[in-house]
Amino acid sequence: GENVEQHPSTLSVQEGDSAVIKCTYSDSASNYFPWYKQELGKRPQLIIDIRSNVGEKKDQRIAVTLNKTAKHFSLHITETQPEDSAVYFCAAIINKLTFGTGTQLKVEL
Amino acid sequence: DVKVTQSSRYLVKRTGEKVFLECVQDMDHENMFWYRQDPGLGLRLIYFSYDVKMKEKGDIPEGYSVSREKKERFSLILESASTNQTSMYLCASSSPGHLAKNIQYFGAGTRLSVL
């Protein structure tokens, strides 16, 4: 089955800095890569996703890049704000979603 | 707006009890999922269902079963609860279709403690 590794497990940045979270996957047949954000005490919610036919996707301060050859994809958050503090999960899918282990992002003032 | 509702936010049960976790979605989604969330382990899939009365094992089905008698409801059953099943349980649903079915909508979670 699919295996997704996510790094780092914790990330602390200063407000206004950029944050990058990286994931690798094992099965080259995976074709969809979503990112979920889970704020403290709340449910995970999709923030951005990318499909295997594109290399990059942006949505305001958030971007995701995909390198199919290397089987890795990354989440980039620019100009971080305190409300970006949360746990972020990457995932990959063939016939079902496999999640990474999560990254606790803390944006410090 | 999609709503996925889990019947309880917190549950405390004793070892050996039979436990039912209920999940209801109101968007006519065909696909429903049960995950458990543990620190450092992320979200792990227990069971999922793509249709009524249909179920598939996920990555960690041992000690669990599920029931999908109606399209909107997906129940997770712990036949005999054990302390290692203390966890946060998340239900999710997604709509059918080749691409759309990949986007999952989560419930608020049930934090289960087994004593």
Task: Give the model confidence (pLDDT) of B4-15 as tens digits.
Answer: 999 999 999 999
**Which pLDDT band holds residue B48 (cuts at 50, 70, 90)?**
very high
Task: Name the residue among B4, B99, B104 with its Cβ closest to that of A97.
Answer: B104
Q: Over its length of 109 residues, how does chain A's per-residue pLDDT go in tens digits?
A: 788 999 999 999 999 999 999 999 999 889 899 999 999 999 999 999 999 888 999 999 999 999 999 999 999 999 999 999 999 999 998 777 899 999 999 999 9
Asked if A87 and A105 count as a contact pair (C-beta separation under 8 A), the reply is: yes
Q: In chain B, which residue's Cα lies nearest the Cα of A48?
A: B103
Is the pLDDT at B108 greater than 80? The verdict is yes
CA angle B17, B23, B24 (to 5 degrees): 150
Q: Which two tokens stand for residue B97?
A: 């279709």
* B104 contacts A46? CB cut-off 8 A: yes
